[in-house]
Structure 1
């Protein structure tokens, strides 16, 4: 009976300790050799490819294992992070995280470091240059607020529309004050835009979705989004973790690895200007 009671007591104690652990602690694990593991949710391209390079080429020497979870949408990664299913995610920029935090004020996440920028491009399968866009041409743009603003600023840079100066970073179709060609601006879910490019005259496409759809191979890039001012600070994609894990040893190790010169070289070689590496100080590495 004493032996049985000891087993029961140990089981209860173990369960109690597990219940007291934070979600992030429970999500983190270790391999059989005790090497700590970070479970990171990513959009497949380019985030998943970049992180796979780090995992395969750099992580072992740094004493870290990385478990990559590919998530194809923008909505799930933050939810899984706050629910403890992930230790970190890598798919978003600061503006997107800010919008998410505003909508979910009880869940505090920390943006830890920039890694890369996916340039928005104006692509077309029907036209070779911006000047070919005629009266009433239809242009698809992302419908999430941060990327919609970026898309409209791209059109503004090319002289296709003028945006109300008071719109700031919140420009939408309603912010257009001048539209000399009477262009039809059509907001769509960002992942859907490459699949719709045959049906419109042109489309402003996020870099990751342009890569997945091989747009640079089968369409013309009419224009790139403007890069002035605090472009990198706003739109670089980076690593996000629960606020109480921002200074964790494993997180710091991953940050160091993401800014190794080998990673920047890999990004430049693989995506040739569609994706730009960002250094640890937040500057674009040209």
Structure 2
């Protein structure tokens, strides 16, 4: 009887062991195949877009769990991304990214893909067209390097100034070689553009800031950017830390595909009156 009882006990332990291993394997399988949560850092209207994307059926179809974190400062956003406190950020143009990498060589970011061109515009409360801007007028221009150079390129495209050959994303007002109207330049914080219109001849305002000031770049600006070779570095991107693994990069790139989904694009177009122009280009296009 004792031997029989021992055999029953051993058998029970074996069964419990098998069940335990099976449950562990099942739980491990569930964890390994659970959707990866991606923290997307963003700000302004982009924050609203990614909040919508995170809740969309398309995100679920791609097996993506997205958490959106708001950080209202570009440098802090990029720092948080390079330090892996944010997995991916969605707020900046390629030129802004390029400038950040130039100034932070030890904490570089990498491009995952393109999203849209949000045209910068030349706005004025005093004049109705570019030709009306008089000699000696003051132009308000952003005080960060990426948007300074971007604004100057827009002024050149509008025929107001001429820049030196080879002007790039790190250029500034010192690179102006021709200024026939003797325009003056006033550096302003990016976010104050709409508020200074009554005190300057014209202001260069990014579309994110313009939207917050109830301005539509396609209707209210005197002149604005178009999609062409001269504006390719102004295309917005999704960016991640430069030292991410190939495995993570592959997962994060799903966000690029998700952004360009037709249903998502319809939402973006309707909400922002077409001012976020979809750009689906290879990364090589930006360089």
Partner of 1:157: 157
CA contact (8 A) 2:116 2:276 kept: yes
Deviation string, structure 1 residues 231-264 (Cα, Å, up to 9, x no partner): 33x1211111123245425313322211212222
Partner of 1:135: 135
Q: CA deviation at 1:278?
A: 1.2
Q: CA deviation at 1:146?
A: 2.3
Work out the CA distance in 1 between the residues paired with 2:125 and 2:112: 38
Deviation string, structure 1 residues 82-117 (Cα, Å, up to 9, x no partner): 223211111112222222122221223211011111
Q: CA deviation at 1:173?
A: 1.2
RMSD of aligned residue pairs (Cα, Å): 2.6
Instruction: Indicate yes or no: 2:40 matched with 1:40.
Output: yes
CA contact (8 A) 1:110 1:246 kept: no
Work out the CA distance in 2 between the residues paired with 1:230 and 1:177: 18
Structure possessing the higher radius of gyration over alpha carbons: 2
Q: CA deviation at 1:175?
A: 1.6
Partner of 2:62: 62
Work out the CA distance in 1 between the residues paired with 2:239 and 2:165: 31
Q: CA deviation at 1:80?
A: 1.0
Work out the CA distance in 2 between the residues paired with 1:42 and 1:145: 20
CA contact (8 A) 1:149 1:172 kept: yes
Partner of 2:241: 242
Q: CA deviation at 1:226?
A: 4.8
Q: CA deviation at 1:54?
A: 1.4
Partner of 1:113: 113
* TM-score normalised per structure 2: 0.78
* TM-score normalised per structure 1: 0.79
Partner of 1:23: none
Contiguous gaps of at least 5 residues in structure 2: 1-29
Partner of 2:79: 79
